[in-house]
Structure 1
């Protein structure tokens, strides 16, 4: 299958620090791909390069056959790349409804069509379990609900590639179970790239896992292959008894 996203020799250096160091990477349509690794491994910098928030020092990014390496973030959004941040980026003083209405309007030819905006907002909120909270001011929501609101904002863009950076942080056990169901449902229509420290979530959700360490790819494979990889255990997972830890 032709990859939806490919990076070739992708790098980002900050002086002598090689945050991302020559990464070759690809994801196929409909895949749920997890990126894991210890703190400082380069995971967030890598996905920031993909979505355009950070400019590369070297390398190329190809999305759906198009070289997007030098495109600004808003052009990548139009092509179908959506990114939810590691730290929530909701508009705290707006309602949940208005937060989601902003990206919905970007997907409409005529953003003034009230009925279409309303339907898009309510659909996105319902998918993440926030129906009934649409009139709540975003800043008054719990941290976990703010994370879900941000996912709703990403879904409202109708992405082809949805990048989720630490999405289960702050969620209760019950909310995490609902989130797992949600990601599987999203993957019917989109490709999901997931940065996550919660290893049980990663092992349950991911079709394939990419392990980063020191700005490079240490290993790639199925959850079973990654769990059994001695280099990964040494660098990140720890002993088998410690695999459920955050790392």
Structure 2
């Protein structure tokens, strides 16, 4: 099966600091891939290159066989790549439903009935039914994260990049999130950047571990859990992107 997303020798340096160095990654259609690593591992820089926020110093990013290395972020969205931020990026003054509608209109245009149906469906998937008229700013932090996820899903992405999606969620909300990811499996590829190792080990098909900007290990959850190098570099410690 051909990869949906590939990177080849993807690198980024800031002055004399090597943030990411020659990372190769292949993510297949419908795959749930976790990206983990200690503080300063290069996860945020790597993802920023995937979505077009940071230009690589060298290397390539390919999406469905197309070289998108120099394409702007909005062009990547049109190809089917959606990203949810580590820090919420909702439109605070707008109602919940309108936040999702804005995302849905990118795909569905001005078809009001289709947009309304997508809003209702997506809010139901993330557990926010009944909060449609509440201003996004009045939601709890955890519910803002779920709203941001709904905005990503409303675009029907082929690849959904989730940056610390369970941060700020209660245990019941984390369970809702895990159930949602399971329903998405096969429907869309997911790249999960997550500090909650229970979530990672339960949901990921494969895990890529970054350390000091390079790939330290890659494999199935059981293999990663047993890898002595990963244990020494990361597992058992708290980490953010």
TM-score (norm 2): 0.97
Pair 1:83 & 2:75 matched: no
In structure 2, what is the equivalent of residue 136 of structure 1?
Answer: 134
In structure 1, what is the equivalent of residue 163 of structure 2?
Answer: 165
| Secondary structure at the counterpart of residue 237 of structure 1 | coil
Between the aligned partners of 2:222 and 2:65, the Cα distance in structure 1 is 31
| Secondary structure at the counterpart of residue 215 of structure 2 | strand
Give matches, 1:203-242, under 5 Å: 203-238=201-236
| Secondary structure at the counterpart of residue 179 of structure 2 | helix
Between the aligned partners of 1:124 and 1:40, the Cα distance in structure 2 is 34
In structure 2, what is the equivalent of residue 241 of structure 1?
Answer: none
1:188 positional shift: 2.7
| Secondary structure at the counterpart of residue 234 of structure 2 | helix
In structure 2, what is the equivalent of residue 3 of structure 1?
Answer: 3
Pair 1:95 & 2:88 matched: no
TM-score (norm 1): 0.95
Between the aligned partners of 2:147 and 2:184, the Cα distance in structure 1 is 15
8 Å CA contact retained: 1:199, 1:246: no
| Secondary structure at the counterpart of residue 209 of structure 2 | strand
Stretches of 4+ aligned residues off by more than 4 angstroms: none
Show CA shifts across 1:91-128 (max 9, x none). 111111111111100102xx222111111111111110
In structure 2, what is the equivalent of residue 56 of structure 1?
Answer: 56
In structure 1, the gaps of 5 or more residues are 239-244
Between the aligned partners of 2:91 and 2:238, the Cα distance in structure 1 is 29
| Secondary structure at the counterpart of residue 124 of structure 1 | helix
1:179 positional shift: 0.4
In structure 2, what is the equivalent of residue 37 of structure 1?
Answer: 37
Between the aligned partners of 2:228 and 2:152, the Cα distance in structure 1 is 36
Between the aligned partners of 1:218 and 1:185, the Cα distance in structure 2 is 30
In structure 2, the gaps of 5 or more residues are none
Between the aligned partners of 1:68 and 1:187, the Cα distance in structure 2 is 24
8 Å CA contact retained: 1:210, 1:219: yes
The equivalent position to 1:186 in structure 2, one of 180, 184, 187, is 184
1:246 positional shift: 3.0
Between the aligned partners of 2:39 and 2:238, the Cα distance in structure 1 is 10
8 Å CA contact retained: 1:35, 1:193: yes
Between the aligned partners of 1:45 and 1:235, the Cα distance in structure 2 is 19
In structure 2, what is the equivalent of residue 24 of structure 1?
Answer: 24
Structure 1 stretch 165-174 or stretch 113-122: which is displaced more? 113-122
Number of aligned residues? 239
In structure 2, what is the equivalent of residue 246 of structure 1?
Answer: 238
Between the aligned partners of 1:113 and 1:227, the Cα distance in structure 2 is 48
Show CA shifts across 1:30-68 (max 9, x none). 110000001111111111111111111111001001001
| Secondary structure at the counterpart of residue 39 of structure 1 | coil
